[in-house]
Amino acid sequence: MINIAIDGPAGAGKSTIAKAISRIIGIIYLDTGAMYRTVALKAIRTGVDTRDGERLAALVKDIDIKIEYKDNEQRIFLDGDEVTESIRTPDVSIGASNVAVIPAVRMKMVELQREIARSSDVVMDGRDIGTYVLPDANFKFFLTASLDERAKRRYDEMISRGMPDVDYEEVKRDIAFRDKNDSSRAFAPLSKAPDALMIDTTGIEPQEVLRIILDKIENNETDGADK
């Protein structure tokens, strides 16, 4: 069984890299952020405040989240309906960061994530994969980049998805809020595992980041000395 963990803040390039690794090595890619986004979407749709721990704990008890793969792309379903696109709005991003603070929500998501890692070879991206979800992962990477660059990447992505009224400063503010919220929570915060390799992707093309990571995997280098 091969498990690869990729953590880091929003816009660091995790999903681009994880998708490429999944394609090249031929293993599945699990975007764990999509799961927290789906919980947030359900809360928003049912009028539950995304910071309300008690109501969120009740909401995740019987939530039905399913992951499927079509042409190697992850599709996500909430209570039977596909929500792959609907979870990509700014409201859902902030909501996901809020619901992710709540231990009952995390326990439920982590249970699903570990179940997938037990039954399949997987490259998983998120915030706590190397530190909490898969502490024994074969390979761990922590990607980061400057706030400006991450905001620019996310802004360009939203424009290319055809989202209207995208404002760069707002995107940057939202990312800064999530950085703080995700890193300061008590339970499984965003942090680099001591044995993860840190790669600052500021000004580096995805191809180069991918080369560094594939090199490590091909040479079976599991130590995480910082680059």
Residues that bind ligand DC (CB under 6 A): 10, 32-33, 36-37, 93, 96-97, 100, 126-129, 178, 182
Nearer to ligand DC, 7 or 220 (CB): 7
The DSSP H or E segment spanning 122 is strand 122-126
User: Are the beta carbons of 22 and 116 closer than 8 angstroms?
Assistant: no
Nearer to ligand DC, 96 or 196 (CB): 96
Nearer to ligand DC, 76 or 225 (CB): 76
Nearer to ligand DC, 172 or 223 (CB): 172
Residue 94 Cβ, how far from ligand DC at the closest point, in Å?
8
Residue 164 vs residues 62, 71, 107: alpha-carbon distances, Å = 34, 28, 35
Output DSSP code: residue 12: S
Residue 10 Cβ, how far from ligand DC at the closest point, in Å?
4
Q: Is 16 exposed, middle or buried (0-12, 13-18, 19+ CB in 10 A)?
A: middle
Q: Is 212 exposed, middle or buried (0-12, 13-18, 19+ CB in 10 A)?
A: middle
Name every residue whose Cβ is closer than 8 Å to that of residue 183 and which is 6 or more positions away in sequence: 9, 189, 190, 191
Nearer to ligand DC, 26 or 194 (CB): 194
Nearer to ligand DC, 148 or 215 (CB): 148
Largest CA distance in the chain: 50
- In angstroms, the CA 5 to CA 187 distance is 18
Residue 198 Cβ, how far from ligand DC at the closest point, in Å?
17
Residue 128 Cβ, how far from ligand DC at the closest point, in Å?
5
Residue 96 Cβ, how far from ligand DC at the closest point, in Å?
4
Residue 219 Cβ, how far from ligand DC at the closest point, in Å?
27
Output DSSP code: residue 127: S
The DSSP H or E segment spanning 211 is helix 206-218
Residue 37 Cβ, how far from ligand DC at the closest point, in Å?
6
Nearer to ligand DC, 25 or 90 (CB): 90
